[in-house]
Amino acid sequence: MTFDNARILLKADAIEKTFRGNRVLDGISMDVHAGEVIALIGPSGAGKSTFLRCLNYLEQPTGGSLHLDGEPVFADPLKPAKSELLSLRRRVGMVFQTFNLFPHLSVVENVTMAQRLNGLRSTSEAEEYALKLLAQVGVEEKAEARPSECSGGQQQRIAIARALSQDPELMLFDEPTSALDPEVGNDVLRVMRDLADAGTTMIVVTHEMRFAERVADRVLLLDEGRILEEGPPERVFRHPEHARTSRFLHAVLDR
Amino acid sequence: MNVEADTGALFQVIGTGLVVTILMTVVSFCAGSVLAVPVALMRTSRVWLVRAPATAFIDIVRGIPTLVWLLIIFYGLGSVVSLDPLPAALIGLTLISSAYLAENFRAGIENVHVGQKEAAAALGLSTAHQFWRVVAPQAVNIAMPPSASYAVALLKDTAIAAIIGVTDIIFFAQQEVARGAPAVTAFLVAGAFYLIVSVPLSYFSRFVDHKIRQKVVVV
Amino acid sequence: MTFLADWAEWLPSLLQGLGTSLLLTLCVAGIGFPLGLGLALLSIAPARIVRILSIAFIEIFRGIPLLVVIFFAYFGFPDIELVISAFATIVVAHSLNLGAYSSEVFRAGILHVGPGQREAARSLGLTPWHAFSRVVLPQALRAVPGPLMSFLIMVFQSTSLAFAIGVGEMTSQAFSIGSMTFDYLSVLVLAGIIYAIICVVSARIVARFEAKMRT
Ligand SMILES: Nc1ncnc2c1ncn2[C@@H]1O[C@H](COP(=O)(O)OP(=O)(O)OP(=O)(O)O)[C@@H](O)[C@H]1O
Ligand SMILES: [Mg+2]
């Protein structure tokens, strides 16, 4: 698939992040087209999680700006208004490495809560939609269970359903399978692949190079807070431009 | 009279104080829990000006012994507004339990995993919803076991109210001793009454602790 | 600012009472902590009956208010021909209470060491006693200073209960000044401030210490 003519859904412009004088993101710019799947790879500490969290302002960037659908997300990116923050986060879903399901709620309540509180759907509609999403990720039989009664793989799929419940235009995944055993992780990757096939726009931080190669439309390699290499998976993986890229790929593939 | 009849009578008289002991424990625990909520919220604020008074309140209230508080309220404030022993004790014990429970609640709030708040934020929940729907319910769960064991400590602390004349278990035991009952028996009976309440209560608190451990993610 | 003049006048007697409070605290700690360690050892003893009795002792003293123990000793001891001073009564009653409470800390410390250490020591041919006293115990005691210091603050606060049987510690001093001047509020507040300063400062020191121990 090529996205040259597709609509640019998200535009990140020169995103910077400094933690107490430590410059973690050094001005990252990126366009995400509607329907595109981007794999974000790179060595530990490169700033992948930080960058992803800047895209929904869980981390407030210290510089740069975001556009969604051609419109600036914030009038002043350094002084986000509450309403702007909420609207960004409702349009962008996030899946965490450690799932972060709400342990005091049942599985289905995890998926309905934000729909109800954000006024997206009525209680009965929210419930119906939640069950549909849970079926889609293959855990409908756990609807009434507590998260603690579910396996890690199930929990992560529930977390995906929860993020999808907001009808996000863009999904962010931060190493969704690295806390899981490989077999269980595959169930999660299968769900993500289905989402990608259905045209969901996704940015996935991952160490699963096979997944990146097969599912991603574009691979971004982040190193020391910058994009070191960028392109279609086959190019980045087979013919990297930089020696550092091949070193990184060797190190990962050797594991 | 034989010893058994004496002991039976002692049980009866001292038992009348049990109601007051339980009343003091329940009222000051419940009122203290309610007061503790705003104190804990202030205590976890990011704004120093909000946090500092709550910290000072907790430190000062807990830094002064229960007996001294009760004497200050009953004899000290008593010279300004006249107070009966029971209301004075209730005020003092509520004050103290609010400070201890506020610390429990604070620890509860701070021990909810940061990922929980982040997940709630990422779903676009408002700050108020993030706190009341996601953080607070889990904080209550985490704060429950230490608060249940605090209830046991509070029960025993209520004994101090006898010193300002509240008619609780100890008060009646003392009264019977003054009337010539054998002190060893009288205070054994008093001790037994406390055990009747405190032992089940502490077993309950351990049970709660065990239950909650399976239910929450603590950092 | 007349109350400041009053406070200056009362301070010496309060400080004298404070001396008694601190002395009581020291005596109670000196007896209560060793008692706590002893109870902890008994509560994990091989003999079942010893375990049951010591745990019952601990549970009873944790379940009844210190004031009941104090009154029991103060009014009850003379009945059984045991005559000791009020000061000694407080020390005895309070030490039993502290022993029961602190035994839990010692026991947790011992259990935390785990069976591997004991087995390693035994496999070197050490006697059970040596394995315990030279290998397990030293490790167990490393974790207890923090909690024991917190207990010390609690003990200091509850020495105020000595007021109930007329030992002249700080609360009693404050109260008797109050009963002479009829200005209970002022002198009790002064005593409260002294208690609070000592407790808050020591709690801070304990927190520092515990933070340091953890790193
Ligand atoms: N809240 C924070 N405060 C201070 N420094 C931080 C914070 N979050 C991240 N960092 C620093 O930013 C750098 C990038 O971290 P980040 O978590 O984004 O890396 P990553 O690429 O996701 O690594 P990994 O593959 O290990 O998850 C690291 O050096 C980290 O120490
Ligand atoms: Mg990361």
pLDDT in tens, B62-103: 999 999 999 999 999 888 888 999 999 999 999 999 999 999
* Gap between the Cα atoms of A80 and C33, Å rounded: 57
Q: Give residue for tokens 């899946």.
A: A95
Chain B nearest-CA residue for A106: B215
β-pairing, A8-19 with A201-205?
unpaired
Return the best residue to mutate from A50, A94, A177 for the ligand 1 pocket (most ligand atoms within 8 A of CB): A50
Lowest mean pLDDT among A22-31, B150-159, C117-126: C117-126
Ion ligand 2: residues, CB < 5 A:
A 49
Q: How many domains does chain C have?
A: 1
Q: How far, in Å, are B31, B199, C6 from residue C61 at the CA level?
A: 28, 11, 41
CATH of the domain at C196: 1.10.3720.10
pLDDT in tens, A33-73: 999 999 999 999 999 999 999 999 999 999 999 999 999 99
CB B197 within 8 A of CB B21: yes
- Sign of the alpha-carbon dihedral angle for A119, A122, A127, A130: negative
Cβ A102–B119 below 8 Å, yes or no? Answer: yes
Chain A residues touching residue B119 (CB < 8 angstroms):
94, 96, 100-102, 159
Residues of B with a Cβ under 8 Å from any A Cβ are 113, 115-116, 118-127, 129, 133-134, 137-138, 141, 214-217
A93, B166, B203: which is closest to C63 by C-alpha? B203
Chain A residues touching residue B217 (CB < 8 angstroms):
103
Q: How many domains does chain B have?
A: 1
A102, A155, A158: best to mutate for the B interface, most B CBs within 10 A: A102
CATH of the domain at B137: 1.10.3720.10
Ligand 1 atom 5, closest CA: A19
pLDDT in tens, A113-134: 999 999 999 999 999 999 999 9
Residues with C-beta less than 6 Å from any ligand 1 atom:
A 19, 24, 42, 44-50
Determine the structural domain holding residue B86 and report its residue range: 2-218
Helix intervals (H) in B112-182: 114-122, 127-129, 136-157, 169-178
Distinct helix (H) and strand (E) counts, chain B: 9, 0
* Gap between the Cα atoms of B215 and A148, Å rounded: 7
Determine the structural domain holding residue C79 and report its residue range: 2-214
Cβ A118–B116 below 8 Å, yes or no? Answer: no
Lowest mean pLDDT among B31-35, B193-197, C77-81: C77-81
Alpha-carbon gap: B119 to the closest alpha carbon of chain A (Å): 6
Tell me what pLDDT residue A1 has.
57
